[in-house]
Amino acid sequence: MKRFLAIAAMTCSLGAPIGAAAQTVLSVVDGEEVIAEFDRDALSQLETIEVVTDNDYVSEVTRFTGPLLRDMFTDPPLDRDDELHLTALNDYTVVIPASDAIDYDVILATHIDGKPMSVRSKGPIWVIYPMSDHSELSEASYNDRLIWQLAKVTRK
């Protein structure tokens, strides 16, 4: 599997045309080392949870499904002092404290109302904070952390 992913990553970096199923949608990087790469299938194999919340970019309370952000790092697990750099498809990056992922069920949503998210609807991965469950998260600064079209998570 790992080897397959590595090949997939290599082919992707070479810019060769590849099948949609094999396309890497998320890279997880620890420091300088790439520790995992997921295509849509691999991502859907992960254990997911559901977060029902609203935010500035949806018109009503919406059901998001996806794996927990903190589960991306297991060896060693996230430390409160870690920084997570979240990078989008368009190379836009935000830095969030790892404590966000530890304190709240921040998910890498892949499904919205049960349907997979396309690039056009902020997919394939949208970082979602459970804002409706924690009033302190409605603070404006958290809005900026809802990065969509997520492509890479880096721990620093």
Interface residues with other proteins (CB under 8 A)?
15-18, 55-59, 89-90, 118-122, 139-141, 143-144, 148-149
Residue number, 80 or 115, with CB nearest to other proteins: 115
How near is the Cβ of 19 to other proteins at its closest, in Å?
11
Distance (Å, rounded) from C-alpha 146 to C-alpha 156? Answer: 19
Given the complex with other proteins, which of 104 and 126 has the nearer CB atom?
126
| Nearest alpha carbon to residue 153 among 54, 84, 51, 75 | 84
Cα(80)–Cα(135) distance, rounded to whole angstroms? Answer: 21
CB of 71 to other proteins, least distance (A): 26
Nearer to other proteins, 44 or 143 (CB): 143
- Asked if 15 contacts 9 with a C-beta cutoff of 8 angstroms, the reply is no
Count of C-beta atoms within a 10 Å radius of residue 3: 7
For residue 131, with 0-12 CB atoms within 10 Å meaning exposed, 13-18 middle and 19 or more buried, which class applies?
buried
Nearer residue to other proteins within complex by CB, 72 or 147? 147
Residue 74 beta carbon to other proteins: minimum distance, rounded to whole angstroms? 30
* Nearest approach, Cβ of residue 58 and other proteins (Å): 5
Beta-carbon count within 10 A of 73 CB? 20
CB of 142 to other proteins, least distance (A): 9
CA separation for the pair 151, 73 (Å, rounded): 16
The nearer residue to other proteins, 64 or 73, going by C-beta atoms, is: 64
